Amino acid sequence: MKGFMKRWILSCMAFMWVSVICGQNKFVVSGYVTDSKSGEELIGAAVSIQEIPAAGVYTNEYGFYSLSVPQGKLTIAVSLIGYEYLSVPVDITKSVKLNLDLTQKITRLGEVTVSSEKRNDNVTRNQMGIDKLNIQEIKNLPSFFGEKDVLKTLQLLPGIKSAGEGNSGFNVRGGTTDQNLILLDGATVYNPSHLMGFFSVFNPDAIKDVTMYKGSLPAEFGGRLSSVLDIRMDDGNNKKIEASGGIGLISSRLTVGGPLRKERGSFIVSARRTYADLIVRGLARAGVLKDTTLRDPKLYFYDLNAKANYRFTEKDRVFLSGYFGRDVLGLPDFGFDWGNSTATVRWNHLFNDKLFLNTSLIFNNFTYTISNGSTVDPINIVSKIRDFSVRQDYQYSSGHNNQVRFGFESTWHRMVPGTITGADTNTVFKSLPVSNSVESSVYFSHTLNLTQHLNINYGLRISEFSLLGDAPFFIYSSYNYADSAKSIVDSTRKVISYIRPEPRFSVNYVFNDRNSVKASYTRNVQYLHLLSNSTTGSPTDMWIPSSYNTLPEISDQYAFGYYRNFASNNWEFSAEVYYKSLFQQVDYINGAILNFNSNVESQLLYGKGRAYGLELLLKKKYGRFSGWIGYTLSRTERRFEDINRGAWYPARQDRTHDVSVVAIYEFPRKWTFSSTWVYNTGNAVTFPKGVYVIDNRPVLLYTDRNGNRMPAYHRLDISVTKQFTERKNYRSSLTFSLYNAYSHDNAWTITFRQNDKTGQIEAVQTTLFKLVPSVSYDFRF
């Protein structure tokens, strides 16, 4: 930990130095963009100068912007989806502070009105492979059991695919689900799902902004190969107390927010709890469910989000945010519960109108507990991942669209793969060794406009990972068995460390305000690896650090895109192609034992991967009618020496075609209709080719890994929302949704069994959800 402190101090000093040399003498307009009604800072609002089209910036994660301007009379313009366009004339004679208030266009729940302003951020922005979701967009779309879900809405975008029926796990550009970094107010969420993946842990009422980076990560992010999903919690209204909530079929939600002190600070508390257990109990007691052990089940999840912020001075603001969620599943003879908790303290400080600093202290903890319920041998096994992080992010603006970002991050991971409690004297199962590691990085990136048409961004992230001692470490000369452990290192010092540079580069050539092309190269490194041999994400999936045997995973992504807006920016079109090479990917030997195995690394195989594809998106952003059509053509393959005789084979998540169509139509103040339709090629799976007999019972014979395909998947969802007339500030709406509206038999699994009568082997397809209707009631006052 000493080395870590040293690095920490050195990095700080390096940054201070950078901030000193970057001085320039132009005037600066800077400030916060906020929501006029709630006073909340707005993320990603485009602030530009009408007289100088190329000079434009976006507000950062805290709603702050800084724009260098020449002397004279200028018009500052601000635009953001869902808000009225704002233009403010200013006469620049010196640097000024200008806080801008935007008025929401949404006057009723779920309503979006027509807009004709020019908004071409998608064309002019340097960043590629980025998707931003408007929370209102999420709320308008059909939902699964009435639960609006951030992660499932994201799956409707090109390049982002669902990990399975009704599943909140997702694959980005051929990556596995563990290659996504999911951040909630900066804290890593290791397991973002509830109820075996059917629901995500993000309660949409508590969320303000969702940004997804598909591989072309800005230098400030790292640690995962495929994507970063940056979710920011709502700050709460700093002008008046507000409450909102909803009642659905399986859960209810309530959110309360308001000022801590008017215009200086606000808070928000949001809670959600399911009552599925009550339904199960009812069904079991009424005799609908035969299994008698279901009569008194424990089965629920809950989420609690809380956040507060306070502006101490004009230049200092502190945010505190936290999340706590838990799933509880229990039968008389088996118990299982898990959950995440995160806490973040952030301090925004403005050194001057050009230099913005955010300092964060982050804590997160994921635990699961299994109790085996055996009457003879009761055992509780607890597994944990706990992180403490500190990070500083500096943003320096100078000149037109000339922005420098730099900072550092350091995280202490403590992973407890399995600690046993409550075992009787007859059990010798030892708790698995705890691993400690430190993951640190420093980064620098610079975005600048070379000409009016050309802007570039270059950056470098240098990451370092150290596995710390005190647990025994093994080196396996060959896989399969623990006895191949060659030597054992048992020390309390740093065991092994890796340093990996991660260069990032992107260029954007803007032909005119409607057309642009972008290209990027990104190298990402991932030091933590998820071991899971299951098709559905399970809480028992285990994270392991990089070690002697498991090297850091690396990906190189090359992407190229064309962006075009039509009809006064009401329509946008984009086409992106990407090619990704992946190294040090992890797979498992046949019959691998992943849980409670102190030699788990002896069960792993290492290989490489490649993924490439084309993503098309045509989107109508504004108007009564809005929506999009997304199409992805892609291939994802892996190559392991010991799988399929070393040949390239399709990864499970390889899907050739993926289509999504989203349409929303609104009658202002009355009704909203929306529908989504998805189609995708089935996953690559392994079907048996032959059969043989052991002990007079059939055993299936498998030949090639992932040599077969599930049937194509398609599904239509529709929903109708009725807004009721506003009464004394009380607004409410009722939503009906149909999931799988034409009740298609989508294959969740295909299994093989012997027919009792004919004795032949037959394939059986299980469909999880046919037509599922749901209803929910939402309110706000």
Partner 1 sequence: MKSLTRIFFLAGVPLILSVSCQKVIDIGVFNSAPQLVAEGTITDQQGPCIVKLTKTIDIDNFAGIPSVTGADVEISDSAGVKETLTEAGNGIYISNTILGIPGHKYKLMINSGGQLYSAVSVMPHPVTDFRLGIKKEVAGTSGGSPGTGGEPYQYRVSYAITDPGEYENYYRLVIFHNNMEISSRRVFDDKFHNGKVIEDDFVLHDTLNFRPGDLIEIDLQNIDRDIYNFFRTLRMATGGLSFLSASPANPLSNITNGGLGYFSACSVIKKHLTIPG
Q: According to CB under 8 A, which residues from 641 to 680 bind partner 1?
A: 652
Binding footprint of partner 1, residue count (CB under 8 A):
90
> Which of 521, 453, 195 lies closest to 338 in space, CA to CA?
195
CB 54 within 8 Å of CB 401: yes
Answer for which of 70, 332, 399, 646 binds partner 1 (CB under 8 A) is 332
**Which listed range, 71-79, 224-232, 290-298, 340-348, lies at the site for partner 1 (CB under 8 A)?**
290-298
Task: Map residue 285 onto helix, strand or coil.
Answer: helix
Answer for which of 24, 75, 99, 293 binds partner 1 (CB under 8 A) is 293
* Minimum CB distance to partner 1 smaller for 50 or for 703: 703
The CB-based long-range contact list for 700-703 (8 Å cut-off, 24+ gap) reads 700/752, 700/761
CB 392 within 8 Å of CB 358: yes
Residue 744 structure tokens: 């298609």
Answer for which of 25, 492, 729, 760 binds partner 1 (CB under 8 A) is 760
**Which listed range, 78-86, 103-111, 130-138, 423-431, lies at the site for partner 1 (CB under 8 A)?**
423-431
**Which listed range, 97-105, 265-273, 442-450, 695-703, lies at the site for partner 1 (CB under 8 A)?**
695-703
* Minimum CB distance to partner 1 smaller for 274 or for 398: 274
Q: Does 246 bind partner 1 (CB under 8 A)?
A: no
Q: Which amino acid, 756?
A: D
Answer for which of 289, 328, 361, 577 binds partner 1 (CB under 8 A) is 289
* Minimum CB distance to partner 1 smaller for 92 or for 741: 741
Q: Does 287 bind partner 1 (CB under 8 A)?
A: no
Residue entry with tokens 């209204």? 237
Write the DSSP symbol of residue 552: P
Answer for which of 260, 331, 456, 475 binds partner 1 (CB under 8 A) is 331
DSSP secondary structure string for all residues of 300-359: EEEEEEEEEEEEEETTEEEEEEEEEEEEEEEETTEEEEEEEEEEEEEEEEESSSSEEEEE
* Minimum CB distance to partner 1 smaller for 71 or for 534: 534
Q: Does 689 bind partner 1 (CB under 8 A)?
A: yes
> Which residues inside 384-413 make contact with partner 1, applying CB under 8 A?
none
Shortest Å distance, C-beta 650 to partner 1: 12
Shortest Å distance, C-beta 702 to partner 1: 5
Shortest Å distance, C-beta 544 to partner 1: 17
Q: Does 426 bind partner 1 (CB under 8 A)?
A: yes
List of residues 6+ apart from 694 with CB closer than 8 A: none
**Which listed range, 91-99, 236-244, 408-416, 749-757, lies at the site for partner 1 (CB under 8 A)?**
749-757
CB 647 within 8 Å of CB 637: no
Report d(CA 61, CA 80) in Å as an integer: 14
Site string for partner 1, 427-456 (x = CB under 8 A): xxx---------------------------
Answer for which of 511, 702, 730, 742 binds partner 1 (CB under 8 A) is 702
> Which of 580, 631, 589 lies closest to 608 in space, CA to CA?
580
Answer for which of 145, 356, 406, 543 binds partner 1 (CB under 8 A) is 145
End-to-end CA gap in the chain:
50
Q: Does 692 bind partner 1 (CB under 8 A)?
A: yes
Write the DSSP symbol of residue 434: P
List of residues 6+ apart from 678 with CB closer than 8 A: 156, 658, 659, 660, 661, 713, 714, 715
* Minimum CB distance to partner 1 smaller for 226 or for 244: 226
Q: Does 705 bind partner 1 (CB under 8 A)?
A: yes
> Which residues inside 536-555 make contact with partner 1, applying CB under 8 A?
536
List of residues 6+ apart from 680 with CB closer than 8 A: 161, 655, 657, 658, 659, 712, 713, 714
Q: Does 563 bind partner 1 (CB under 8 A)?
A: no
Site string for partner 1, 191-210 (x = CB under 8 A): ----xx-x------------
Shortest Å distance, C-beta 750 to partner 1: 7
Write the DSSP symbol of residue 551: P
CB-count burial class (<10 Å; 0-12, 13-18, 19+) for 501: exposed
* Minimum CB distance to partner 1 smaller for 358 or for 536: 536
**Which listed range, 204-212, 393-401, 471-479, 530-538, lies at the site for partner 1 (CB under 8 A)?**
530-538
Shortest Å distance, C-beta 381 to partner 1: 11
DSSP secondary structure string for all residues of 492-529: SSEEEEEEEEEEEEEEEEEEETTEEEEEEEEEEEE-EE
Q: Does 89 bind partner 1 (CB under 8 A)?
A: no
Report d(CA 307, CA 291) in Å as an integer: 42
> Which residues inside 761-780 make contact with partner 1, applying CB under 8 A?
761-772
Q: Does 686 bind partner 1 (CB under 8 A)?
A: yes
* Minimum CB distance to partner 1 smaller for 503 or for 688: 688
> Which residues inside 577-616 make contact with partner 1, applying CB under 8 A?
587-588, 590-591
Shortest Å distance, C-beta 602 to partner 1: 13
Q: Exposure string (b/e) for 461-473, b if CB count within 10 Å is 16 or more?
A: bbbbbbbbbebeb
> Which of 694, 679, 581 lies closest to 632 in space, CA to CA?
679
Q: Does 421 bind partner 1 (CB under 8 A)?
A: no
Shortest Å distance, C-beta 646 to partner 1: 16
Q: Does 292 bind partner 1 (CB under 8 A)?
A: yes
* Minimum CB distance to partner 1 smaller for 268 or for 710: 710
Q: Does 742 bind partner 1 (CB under 8 A)?
A: no
> Which residues inside 457-486 make contact with partner 1, applying CB under 8 A?
none
Work out whether strand 657-667 and strand 772-780 pair parallel, antiparallel, or are unpaired: unpaired
CB 317 within 8 Å of CB 347: yes
DSSP secondary structure string for all residues of 699-716: EEE--STT-EEPPPEEEE
Answer for which of 17, 312, 334, 625 binds partner 1 (CB under 8 A) is 334
Report d(CA 705, CA 686) in Å as an integer: 5
Report d(CA 238, CA 452) in Å as an integer: 39
* Minimum CB distance to partner 1 smaller for 105 or for 705: 705
> Which of 525, 655, 634, 537 lies closest to 585 in space, CA to CA?
525
Q: Does 297 bind partner 1 (CB under 8 A)?
A: yes
* Minimum CB distance to partner 1 smaller for 326 or for 414: 326
User: Dihedrals φ, ψ of 754, to 5°?
Assistant: -90, 125
Answer for which of 166, 169, 417, 630 binds partner 1 (CB under 8 A) is 166
Q: Does 687 bind partner 1 (CB under 8 A)?
A: yes
Report d(CA 493, CA 499) in Å as an integer: 17
Shortest Å distance, C-beta 533 to partner 1: 5
Residue 120 structure tokens: 């071409």
Q: Does 336 bind partner 1 (CB under 8 A)?
A: yes
Report d(CA 732, CA 724) in Å as an integer: 6
Report d(CA 546, CA 583) in Å as an integer: 13
Answer for which of 113, 535, 568, 581 binds partner 1 (CB under 8 A) is 535
Report d(CA 212, CA 617) in Å as an integer: 15
* Minimum CB distance to partner 1 smaller for 143 or for 237: 143
Task: Map residue 598 onto helix, strand or coil.
Answer: coil
Answer for which of 93, 313, 375, 451 binds partner 1 (CB under 8 A) is 375
**Which listed range, 272-280, 409-417, 521-529, 728-736, lies at the site for partner 1 (CB under 8 A)?**
272-280
Shortest Å distance, C-beta 612 to partner 1: 22
Q: Does 754 bind partner 1 (CB under 8 A)?
A: yes
